[in-house]
Structure formats: structure tokens, C-alpha cells
Homo-oligomer: A and B are copies of this chain.
Amino acid sequence: MLENNSVGIVAPQNAHFDTPLTLKSGAVLPTFDLAYETYGTLNHDKSNAVLICHALSGTHHVAGKYSENDKYPGWWDNLVGPNKPLDTNKFFVIGVNNLGGCHGSTGSASINPATGKPWGSAFPIVTVEDWVNSQARLLDFLGLPSLAAVIGGSLGGMQALQWTLAFPNRVRHALVIASAPNLTAQNMAFNEVARQAIITDPEFHGGDYYAHNAIPRRGLRIARMLGHITYLSDDAMGAKFGRKLKNDIQYSFDAEFEMESYLRYQGDKFAGEFDANTYLRMTRALDYYDPALPFNNDLTAALKQAKAHFLVVSFTSDWRFSPARSREIVKALLDNELTVSYAEVTAAHGHDAFLMPDAHYHNILRTYLSNIEIGGNDAK
């Protein structure tokens, strides 16, 4: 069943690129593919395109379903659709799977043309800058001169910000949600623990587990369980699970508290679906992103290239990408006399709030997006 205002049944598409892509590390990808989806219709002057950048475990499947029987729609379906905040009656919306991903774009599990075998550990480490460069290639592929807007939450917000620095003339609006100008030491520490859980899993085989018909499930499971703690606030975990026991205390190491069952379920599910090498690379991209680093940590100087208009949104209970980090971005943008709207949304769901259909939050996005001017056959 499709709900009201769904983009409906969608299909993933593939863009193949034969021109080598030089990455920030110096490594060169000779060819690559990007999996993407689009929703809505491109207007005749091509002024209504919006790119959605995904976070750690996201994909190009942002909205709609692949079949009527699909249990779940795309990961940001509550945002994207006809008459939804990101209105597909107005905008031509693009979702893309990041390079290094495991949902169709070229990554560690893909065949390395040089060897005829999976890239495995040889797949290079990609950065936020590399993703944005590859996404610009996708724009070229789609014949799009520029974006009306780029939008992303968390790691996706870093990409949205980077778009305005790398391609200031190709993006008019950037919506940077639940993000930060770089990770704190604590955030990086969580990433490091997750990576070490994966890398020390005996089934990891140095990243070449495909050749061993193995999957480092244990490590991925631990990484995901840990991730879930950081996506929720302490209060949100308290409200959702508290200290609720499944039965009387059994004096065992089984899942006796409901929260334990939840974490194990989430960990098991993820370990069966996601590629460990992708997880490692996504977290490393998060660690490395730091546009102010080449500017002596002066974020104002770093954002000097930007020309876009900005909407920055943070959530009060987000302890992983706290409002204070969003305000750093806002300040640096204002220092550069850019147009910035900032909303600090009172929300109980922690970092996950950016994915939730909170009415106040969605109204902020709806209002901002409805004010973006597009030309051509815009219905408005």
C-alpha cells in the first residue's frame, strides 16, 4: 500500500562514468558507477533540481517504494513527495548513493576492473570532497547546470556545506541539518571503536573478506549497536525503553531489558545488510571532513567561497551533532555576510530527529523550500 502523497513506485537508475576521478587522497578511480533515483519532473530551464545527500548508512532510495508490497518506503519518504515539505510537484529531486557505498554505487564489493575481483581493501578511502565531486559528475550526466538546493542531515549536511564551497556557482540553496563543521573528538572516538570492532573481527580478513566468503558480522553488529546509542538521546532512550525488563531478572547475559533486545535486533539486521568496508569508509569520511583545517582552523575563512543561501537546522537533544556545532557554521556564514536562516528545534529524539516527521521541523523545511524561486514550468 502506498500512502497519500507518495512519489509512488520508483526504480533505481545507474550512471556510469568512464572519465577517471582523482580522489583527495591522490588515488584514482579509473571508472565508477553511481546509483541514483529521481522524483518529480525537471522543468524546462532546469532550475528546480534538488540533490539529497545521505548520511552514514543512507542510500539513493529516498522516497517511494520499489513495489506495492515493499514494507518500507525510502529513508526520507516523510519529507519528499507531492505536497510534502520537499514538494515533488515543484522540485526535481535526486537521491544518490555515495561512492564507496554498498547499494549500487561503486565500492569495495564492486569488481575492480584491474583485477576482475572485488576491490576489497584496495578500494580507496573517499572523502566528503570526493563525494561532492562525484555528485557534480552526476549533475553533468543528467544535464543539470546547477541545483536549486542541496539538502542533507548529519554527514549529508557536511556534503551540502561542501557543495557550496566546491561549486559555489552550481548551488543556490544549502540546507544543512543536524550537522557540524567537523566531528568532535568524542564523535571520532565512537567511530574508532566501531571501526576497531569491525577490523579486529576474525572474519574481516584485512578487508578482503569477499574472497574468503566471509562477513565480519560480529564487528558490524557491535558498530551498529553503538551507533544506535549515539543516534538517540539519553532522554529518548529513557522514554522509549527506560529500565523496562522483559521478564523478572534472570541473572544472565541474555537480553533481559527491552533496550537490549532492541540493540541486538538493530545490530543483527544491519550486519546482514550492510557492507563492512563501506561502514569503515563512511566513518573515515566523517572523521576527515574539516574545511577549516587548511585555514588554520578559521571556519570563517574556510567558508569564504560560499555564495549559496543557507538554512541550518539543529535539534536540542542531539548530543552527537549539538546545536552549538550548527551555530559555529551559522556564525562563520554570517561573518561572510551570507544569507542564513537558523532553526534550533526542540526535539526529544536526539540525532535521529532529523529523520523524524516532527511538525515544527517539517514546517520550517516546507516554508524555506516553498520560498525558493524556480523558473520555467514551475507550477507556482
**Chain A interface residues toward B at CB < 8 A:** 24-25, 27, 124-125, 182-186, 188-190, 192-193, 195-197, 199-202, 218, 221-222, 225-226, 228-229, 232, 234, 237-238, 240-243, 249, 251-253, 255, 257, 259-260, 263-264, 267, 280, 284, 287-288, 290, 319
In the complex the two chains form, is A226's CB within 8 Å of B225's CB?
Answer: no
In the complex the two chains form, is A229's CB within 8 Å of B190's CB?
Answer: yes
Q: Which of B24, B188, B280 contacts A257 (CB 8 A)?
A: B188
CB-defined contacts of A255 to chain B, threshold 8 Å: 192
Give the nearest-CB partner of A187 in chain B.
Answer: B234
- Roughly how many angstroms separate A181 CA and B4 CA in the complex, as a whole number? 47
In the complex the two chains form, is A193's CB within 8 Å of B226's CB?
Answer: yes
In the complex the two chains form, is B251's CB within 8 Å of A125's CB?
Answer: yes
Q: Which of B185, B196, B200, B264 contacts A196 (CB 8 A)?
A: B264
Copies per complex?
A: 2
In the complex the two chains form, is B221's CB within 8 Å of A185's CB?
Answer: no
Give the Cβ gap from A256 to chain B, nearest Cβ, in Å: 8
In the complex the two chains form, is B229's CB within 8 Å of A189's CB?
Answer: yes
- Roughly how many angstroms separate A290 CA and B241 CA in the complex, as a whole number? 16
- Roughly how many angstroms separate A197 CA and B238 CA in the complex, as a whole number? 23
In the complex the two chains form, is B253's CB within 8 Å of A280's CB?
Answer: yes
In the complex the two chains form, is B253's CB within 8 Å of A195's CB?
Answer: yes
CB-defined contacts of A280 to chain B, threshold 8 Å: 253
Q: Which of B195, B200, B253, B267 contacts A199 (CB 8 A)?
A: B253
Give the Cβ gap from A375 to chain B, nearest Cβ, in Å: 42
In the complex the two chains form, is B243's CB within 8 Å of A192's CB?
Answer: no
Q: Which of B182, B186, B221, B263 contacts A234 (CB 8 A)?
A: B186
